[in-house]
Structure formats: structure tokens, C-alpha cells
Copies of this chain bind each other. A is one copy, B any other.
Amino acid sequence: MTDAAALPALGPDERAARRVAVGELGDALRELVDAAVRTEVPEAELEAVAAAARELAARLRASGRGLHDIARVDDPETGERWYSPVYGPGSPVAPPLVATDSPDGRATGRVTVGKPHEGPPGLVHGGVVATLLDHVLARALRAAGRGGLTATLTVRYRRPVHLGVPLLLTAEMGETVGRRTTAHARLVAEDAPEVVLAEAEGLFVALRAEQAADVFAATGRAVGAWTTRS
């Protein structure tokens, strides 16, 4: 792989253009992932597709980043991650969640979870539910300048969450004491918003600048989104 440090940084227009292409590849790979977990084609065809997929991987590896490098499409100061496993437009493993937030410490997310994220038959995996809730909790805080790492996450699963149903997540910031901030969130089906399917409480702790420098040292970049702003 090419050393990513050798690649020039992108200007705003270049970054916007690259984000479009990254999102398109993300879409295509999410289609492929969905097809793969639902396929019943013969074994010989599975093998042929596997070989073709390995060829595509080799093409993408012609230039790539190391395990700790930050993508050129990303902005580590705002915390927006183009390859996030939850909402990243470029991530083949993201459901993906479509999230919004406001500076008063609120966030919402919309998603319809498919077969790749199944737990018990026909249901969304409990870990995926936790992941979606964790993200809207963290996003609510970050939007209010209170970004931090999850310290405690408690999820209460009230009802089975079915695949293929449009879901709505909402999160709201609670109290802040020093570097510690709480938040709560809930998950409902868009067409039955009065029935809580799952809810979560989170405690997040902002890193001090010197902790962030240590935790993110391997990235070789300034990473501000998980530190205190005030």
C-alpha cells in the first residue's frame, strides 16, 4: 500500500467530489453485502464471486491507508467520519443511519435495518440496536460541544425490533459535571412512535487535550472531536 502521508491533502472542492465517489462505492458494496447474506446460488457461483471480490480488493489496495491513518475525505476536528460503521456513506458495514443534530444537544437518526444486521431470525441484532443508540447519544453531546468517549452505556430492550421497518432514534443531552455528560435516547418505529422499542442512557467523558494527544498519537493528526471545548 502507498503511505497515505505521501498523498496531498484535498481542497474543499476535491474533497466534495471524492465524497461523492466514496458514497457511491459504499452504496454498491452495501448492495453486495445484502446480496451475499441472502444468496442461495450454487456453491460454484459463490466461489467464482469470491475470486472476483478478491480481485476488486486488490485494485482498491493499490493505494491505501494504514490502520491508524485518517481518510482524506474526513474531518477529524468535527468528528464526521465518512467510513463510520454506523452512518458512514462509504462504509459497507453501516446500516447506514441517517443522522441530524442541533447545538442544543439533540440528535435524531433514521434507518431501516436489513438482513446483514440480523440477530434472532427476522429481528435486528441487539448489539446493532446498542450501536445505533450509542451513536445518537454521542452525536447529541458532540453537537453541543460536549464530545467524549462512551464511559457507560445502558440499553433496555422493550420489544423485538424487526428488520425492514423504518426506525426513528432520538437523543437528548442530560447533565454535565466537569468532563462528564449524560444523555438518553430512545428507538421507535416511525409508524408507531408511541411504542418504545428500546431506550438507552449513556455517560460520556471528554478527553483532556493531553489525553487526546496520547490516545490518538498513532494517527499523527490533531483530533479535536472527543475533547472538551470549554
Contacts and interface: CB of A to CB of B under 8 A. Distances in A.
Given A36-B57, A40-B64, 8 more contacts: A22-B46, A31-B53, A32-B56, A39-B60, A39-B64, A40-B63, A49-B56, A127-B132
B160 A215 contact: yes
Contacts of A58: 35
Interface residues of A, number: 105
Given A24-B50, A36-B25, A65-B38, A116 B93 contact: yes
A54 B65 CA distance: 24
A85 interface: yes
Contacts of A92: 32-33, 36-37, 92-93, 116
Contact of A85 (B17, B69, B70, B117): B117
A51 B84 CA distance: 22
A64 B38 contact: yes
Interface in A151-184: 151-157, 160, 163-164
Interface stretch (A102-110, A186-194, A217-225): A217-225
In this complex, the member of A26, A40, A83, A115 whose beta carbon has the largest number of chain B beta carbons within 10 angstroms is A40
Interface of A: 1-2, 4, 7, 17-18, 20-22, 24-29, 31-41, 43, 45-54, 56-72, 76, 81, 83-86, 88, 90-93, 114-123, 125-128, 130-132, 134-135, 138, 149-157, 160, 163-164, 215-216, 218-219, 221, 223, 225-226
A69 B118 CA distance: 11
21 contacts: A7-B40, A24-B50, A33-B92, A35-B56, A35-B57, A35-B61, A36-B90, A38-B65, A41-B62, A45-B59, A49-B56, A49-B59, A67-B122, A68-B121, A70-B121, A92-B116, A120-B223, A123-B149, A127-B132, A131-B131, A153-B153
Contact of A156 (B25, B27, B47, B151): B151
